[in-house]
Amino acid sequence: MGSKEDPHLSNSEIGRYSRQMILPELGVQGQVKLKKGSVLIVGMGGLGCPASMFLAASGVGRLGLLDYDAVELSNLHRQVLHNESTIGLPKSQSAKAFISNLNSNVELDLFQEPFTCTNALDIVRRYDVVLDCTDNAATRYLLNDACIFAKRPLVSGSALRFEGQITTYNCQGGPCYRCLFPVPPPPEFVTNCSDGGVIGAVPGIIGTLQALETIKLLSDIGPSYVGKMLIFDGLQGTFTDVKIRSKQSSCAVCGDNPTITTLMDDYPTFCGSSFDDKDRHIKILKQLDRITPTEYETIAKSKTIPHVLIDVREPQELEICAIPDVSMNVPYSQMYSDKSMDTLKRFLKERSRLARVVQGSDSLHVYVVCRRGNDSQRAVRLLQEKFADLNLVIKDIEGGLHAWARDVDKSFPFSNKLHEFRIMFHLKLPALLPQKNVRSLKLFTPQLSRQIPERLKHIPNADDPPFFEMVEFFFHRACIVGEKRWMSTLNMGPKATEKDRESRSRGILRLLEPCAHLLEFSFPLKRDSGEFEIIQAYRAQHSHHRTPTKGGIRYSLDVNTDEVKALSALMTFKCSCVDVPFGGAKAGVKINPKEYSIDELEKITRRFALELSKKGFIGPGIDVPAPDMGTGEREMSWIADSYAKTLGYKDINSHACVTGKPINQGGIHGRTSATGRGVYHGIQNFINNPDYAQMVGLTPGLKGKTLIVQGFGNVGFHSARYLDRVGVKLIGVIEWDGAIANPQGINPVQLDEYKKLHGTILGFPGAKKFEGDLMLEPCDILIPAATEKSITKSNAVNIKAKIIGEAANGPVTPAADKILQDKKILVIPDLFLNAGGVTVSYFEWLKNLNHVSYGRLTFKYDYESNIHLLKSVEESLNRRFGTHADVLQKGPIQIQFSDASARRLGGASEKDIVHSGLEYTMERSAKNIMKVASEFNLGMDIRTAAYVHSVDKIYATVATAGHS
């Protein structure tokens, strides 16, 4: 099978391959295996060219080049081994000339005959690995079966438009092609690059990956794509791994009881298409429903038969060339739109009426043309079905524009720049037909031209973008993905045009961009020393689509207008993401709370509450603040008391003006740890999902995973505490004054106690001080729980975590987010992950409005009901077994309660209800986000999926309630 050459490496070969031989994964032995190896490449086109080039360059000993096609001018944009001087030569000969000049050590076998069932098995058996670089179904099934019978791995690639994919079949117990596709699709649903087009670089990338996979197979490094498929999206610049179906025991070729044991006699009949990739023609219409290009030319010139000529190619194809008399462009891809078909039907009815009035014809002839006569047949069949009630004669032009160029116009194609993104018609009627009857018709187009605003286009590459612009960018990116679907849900009545719907949709989304209200004020503070100081404060309300608005109050020197606007916007989307019916808000006071006494902090907080009250920025149904960085239960209690004694003195619900209060002031059990607990549940939902765990190379489940936390405040501590309980190992903690690490694990509870006692984590006996940037160290989970923009494009490239859980607000910039996705690092975004706090704040707000704690009215009843039920069970057991010897000897049967059962006898406590409600909220939201990611094919871009999920609900609310 391998090369006939001497397996030892010459000095020249060592010099040639030294740069790859120094890699420990390959080495000398790996290079020798490449030299001894042999590869069959079937198809010397866009995939086969780069694959063969890199295989030859890497030193594979023998290559088989199989292709019986000739080089054409249209090949050269992607088939890089060929050039203008080789046009007309067999592709295998052209490729041999290039490869021989590249590496004369490689032995080359040429196969210029068709690859069929009579020679396939004999050819495949001569090689160690086979590459499928074709784009037709018949050859794919033949190659698959031959590789199964010859026991050869098959590295399969494909490329179309901006997308490509690669997988390896029949290798290491993995599936074969038939395991995934037991039956070929109908030929009319198969598109190759000749039909659909392809960007030349895409097959270059996939072919190169095929070469790399083959090199790893031959050198025993091991394949990467067995049991999974790599999908490349060139338009978005993303690579996605997708788990594929495992080997099927029922497979007709490789299963436990195969029904196909030799190569089939006729693969083209089985697939409904030929082995020839170049001109694939389908035939789904009767000859009665078709006319030749010559017949159509006669009809067009006679001007006696009223007709419409419909070109069903895409508009960009129409710009390249078109028949001069084309009447209408209706892309086949739009013919499944009800809106398009309704408009087209009205148009054809009008043309039929004109044909009757002007020419006295009882029927209108409709002729359909495409490039090669495939889509036109599909379109005719669809139009005949949809418009059966109209008196139309609908036919396709056989062979399409290719046949037109061959039989009618030898100079075709020609450039036609007059055809734009619109649909025109030109009906063949006598000159007496008034010119006003010729008009333009615009069909429904579901595409939207929304783009990132010009002022935000720098954000994806900015190292330190403004926080509010970061949130705006993420919002607009979600709108690009979701607006088409949202617009389709608008209920505007039958008279609304598509322009009306788009205008309404844009209006709704524009309402969500700016901050609705921004309050900035200052007030004096007389300090304990007698000195006066001016305190600057802010409150932003982003959206009033739901009221009250909700958001925390932070005390920090970093507070500014941009930050509170950004955080209020983020809170809008956060509340929607977890189904909390609040608008978003945020407040900040520009102080360092560590520099003020308790009395001074109380003065600041109460004055701040008073200013909010005077401006109408606080109240149970208006705006409900909560704790944030630098604030806690104490400050919330002061605010509640100040409001109750001033503006809210008549309001029985006054204590609902703020959440995060102490329990004795109307607070709720579980609020302090809520954000951290939500972080734990959010990460748990994603890492327990096998698909997402596989994407980042982890096994499902949290047990045994390693964790680094940046910021060991309230959120960081509780996140680590809950994760520690389920077996996650905290190996490092980063704080403002330093970092500590212990590969054996750090006890978060002990560390928290040490920090409270000493004011720092440094010196903690259970870990050592870490010199350097701990955030860049390897770990399974990294939780940034400090401030925004801690991960930027400058350090994202060095992040080695598998999962990043955004416990802080905005810790990852858009530029860093893109880098992390490219590195296959799963980022669980802030608007979902740290929403535990606002979720439990919602529970507290409801408790305050109800004026009763959860469970209080049912504790006694639940307890007595449970005791009664258990006593009934005891009595039933004693009646049934009361005469048994053991029972008579030991006495009546008694049910003994375990400690856990005894604690639950009285029903759920407030804490139980809060924890249960939070867990359910995070689980439901995670599933909805995953569903959106799947629907829109977003892969690991969970942030965009979360924003789409969030904006979807806000959009529906505004659309229903109106714009005012």
Q: Which amino acids are annotated as binding site, given as ranges?
A: 46, 67, 74-78, 91, 135-136, 176, 179, 251, 254
As annotated, the binding site for Zn(2+) includes: 176, 179, 251, 254
Displacement of CA 128 from its chain's centroid (Å): 37
CB 548 within 8 A of CB 582: yes
User: Which stretches within 303-448 are classed as H helix?
Assistant: 315-320, 338-359, 375-386, 400-407
CB 155 within 8 A of CB 210: yes
Q: How far apart, in Å, are the Cα atoms of 944 and each of 486, 926, 932?
A: 15, 13, 9
Residue that has been written with the tokens 């096609």 in this structure: 69
**The pair of three-digit structure tokens given for residue 252, joined into one six-digit string:** 């007709």
Is 147 a residue of the active site? no
Angle value at C-alpha 173, between 169 and 177, nearest 5 degrees: 25
CB 379 within 8 A of CB 289: no
Q: What type of residue sits at position 628? A: D
Choose, from 49, 147, 193, 271, the residue flagged as catalytic: 193
* Sign of the Cα pseudo-torsion (798, 801, 805, 807, in order): negative
Nearest alpha-carbon partner for 630 in 556, 694, 692 = 556
DSSP one-letter code for 137: H
Is 370 a residue of the active site? yes
As annotated, the binding site for ATP includes: 46, 67, 74-78, 91, 135-136
Choose, from 133, 147, 171, 370, the residue flagged as catalytic: 370
CB 803 within 8 A of CB 782: yes
Quote the CA–CA distance of 869 and 916 in Å, as a whole number.
Answer: 24
Quote the CA–CA distance of 512 and 573 in Å, as a whole number.
Answer: 10
Quote the CA–CA distance of 14 and 469 in Å, as a whole number.
Answer: 54
Q: Which distant-in-sequence residues (6+ apart) come within 8 Å of 388 by Cβ?
A: none
The verdict on whether omega for the bond into residue 114 sits within 30 degrees of 0, i.e. cis, is no
Helix axes 201-218, 48-58, angle to 10 degrees: 40
* Sheet-wide strand order for 228-233: 107-111, 62-66, 38-42, 129-132, 154-160, 163-169, 228-233, 238-243
Q: What type of residue sits at position 29? A: Q
User: Which stretches within 40-90 are classed as H helix?
Assistant: 48-58
Quote the CA–CA distance of 740 and 728 in Å, as a whole number.
Answer: 17
Quote the CA–CA distance of 917 and 648 in Å, as a whole number.
Answer: 30
Strand 517-526 and strand 392-397: the pairing is unpaired
- Annotated catalytic residues are 193, 370
